[in-house]
Amino acid sequence: MNQVKDNIIVRIAGAAGDGIASAGEVFGRICARSGLHVMAYNAYQSAIRGGHVWLQLNVGSRKTLSHGEAPEVAILLNRTSPALHIPMMKKGGVVFYNSSQIQEDLSKMRDDVTCYGIPFKEIFTEAGVEAVMANTFLIGCVVGLLGLDANIGLEFIRDRFKKKGEQVIALNNRVFQGGIDWVKKNAKPMEVHLKGDGKRRMFLTGNHAFGMGLLAHGLKFYAAYPMSPSTGVLHYLATKARSHKLVIKQTEDEIAAVNFIIGAAHAGVRTATATSGGGFSLMVEGVGLAGMMEEPIVIINVQRGGPSTGIPTKQEQGDLNMIIGASQGDFPRIVLAPKDTEDAFYTAGRALNLAEKYQTPVLILSDLFLSEHFQTCDAFERLLPIERGKLIDHTEGGYKRFLITEDGVSPRLVPGAPKGMYCSPSDEHDEVGNVISDVLAGLPESLDIRNKMHPKRMKKLDMARREDIKLPTLTGPKNAELTLLGWGSTYDAIEEACEYLRQEGIETNHIHFTDVYPLPNEAVREMLESCKEIVAVENNFSSQFTRLLRAETGFDVKRMVNRFDGEPFTGEDIFNRVKKELAYV
């Protein structure tokens, strides 16, 4: 007897402008309110209308770890979709399509997939029903097919359209219920048991979580230039500016954005920006300025396919080398790479704390998948304590902004305090901030200042390694025969791959890095040397993190799987690539 599945993969496909993302969000939120777990991925092009896009949701009674590979249920919204997606369906899958729009008989394409053509225009002829509402009808069909609670869907529609009035709510509810009723009369239920745990979950993106985390941990100034896929952070924070007394500045470019936040940090407020790789390239000089001035700034870099404009709406972990080496010369920085949506919330708050504690740039490496995919998440019920480091608001005089201290961190005075005047230059300087322009002349006094001030700043990295940088997590059996190694947003997909490998009798564990730089080198090397066989998993061509590990610890990971075609990993994908790499049969 076949075991009834407790998860299902649903794909919605059509053209940009067909309401793909909106339909997917509606379905995902209905599932989230039903106490189910959802992981969604939106594969879209850089076009407002036209082209081809699809969105896939993996819905389950247990936590879903990727958006999955082949769909089992599909909603097809335009004529291009059938030829692209029906061949990818799992055997026994179900397809719903609007036969008022797609007039060919799709059942002829595969005899092991059931296709339901529904003439939406013929079913709903009343005034006010628009063509785009076919999406709502087809979502109702899927809700009915999967046996989900219709009342939860109706409640969500009421919440979504409450600003448009009762007439609009009633019309959308009739269309949604019409899909459920159509399935009851015309379709065979799927053998899937989607039982929620009764816990309503948030359904949000990593960008939402970053914005929430910044806001919850004291952000007061945010400046950014819109650049996909980082713009969601700006959009979210802009909606909260008035209610939370937050200053938002949409700047003319990324150079202005980084200089704005350096100025805000200098004035003593918590500040941040977000961009993508191309925008961060423009910020690089500003990052160096913050390093020399010892200003606490936070930059979220949402990676996408490069170089140059590259593949702007696709996934990649290709900016690590740039982040680690951004700007000329040596200066301390901290680089964090959250593993999932919940981690994005806490990483944002932690970054603000670390920036102020060490008075240095903290750089967060997100990517398109983490920042833009929707995922169910439990409520963030705890907050990190706000730690402002050595921030002071008064002095008795003789203040030295860049005082040489044992840990490399100087007292930081809020500008405007009496007796607290100082310089904050971009040139090398003494403890007060006076520029030492005579270094090139080789004067002993200036050389001595440089030889003290430069190591003073770099000491911060040693303190960070000791006090704040987290070791990678290890999940799975400690003495496993195979270890998968990853960093950042690949966490869930690697966890799923480990499950697949264990099911085939391959004992597997998982080492994962979220604190990318600086690394506690000796402890990391000890962890890696305890592993029997390591395969690194990276969403880039040149295994950038593996190279960083080798440079920092001397440990050489010899086996790796890479994906750089613009799509994110899934557990099934990693599983197949690892088996190929190790020649497992």
| pLDDT of 96 strictly over 50 | yes
Give me the pLDDT at residue 125, please.
Answer: 84
- Say how far apart CA 303 and CA 323 lie, in whole Å: 11
> Has this prediction a pTM greater than 0.85?
yes
| pLDDT of 585 strictly over 70 | no
* Unique residue bearing structure tokens 């490496």: 365
Give me the pLDDT at residue 440, please.
Answer: 55
Q: What is the pLDDT of residues 322-351, one digit of tens each?
A: 999 999 999 999 999 999 999 999 999 999
Q: What is the pLDDT of residues 11-33, one digit of tens each?
A: 999 988 888 888 999 999 999 99
Averaged pLDDT score across all residues of the chain: 94
- Say how far apart CA 261 and CA 513 lie, in whole Å: 28
- Say how far apart CA 63 and CA 65 lie, in whole Å: 6
Q: What is the pLDDT of residues 502-516, one digit of tens each?
A: 999 999 999 999 999
- Say how far apart CA 542 and CA 528 lie, in whole Å: 20
- pLDDT-based confidence at residue 258 (cuts at 50, 70, 90): very high
Mean per-residue pLDDT, 72-76: 96
- Say how far apart CA 2 and CA 185 lie, in whole Å: 26
Give me the pLDDT at residue 2, please.
Answer: 54
What percent of the chain stands above pLDDT 70? 97
Instruction: Look at strands 508-513 and 473-475 and give their pairing.
Output: antiparallel
What percent of the chain stands above pLDDT 90? 85
| pLDDT of 180 strictly over 50 | yes
Give me the pLDDT at residue 321, please.
Answer: 97
- Assign 3-class secondary structure to 366-419: EEHHHHHCEEEECCCCCCCCCCCCCEECCCCCCCCCCCCCCCCCCCEECCCCCC
- Assign 3-class secondary structure to 125-156: CCCCCCHHHHHHHHHHHHHHHHCCCHHHHHHH
Give me the pLDDT at residue 486, please.
Answer: 98
Nearest C-alpha neighbor of 279 from the set 260, 296, 303, 263? 303
Give me the pLDDT at residue 445, please.
Answer: 82
Domains of the chain and any CATH numbers = 7-200 (3.40.920.10), 203-377 (3.40.50.970), 391-453 (no CATH), 473-582 (3.40.50.920)
Q: What is the pLDDT of residues 525-580, one digit of tens each?
A: 999 999 999 999 999 999 999 999 999 999 999 999 999 999 999 999 999 999 99
Contacts of 393 (CB under 8 A, 6+ apart): 413, 414, 417
Give me the pLDDT at residue 439, please.
Answer: 56
Give me the pLDDT at residue 520, please.
Answer: 96
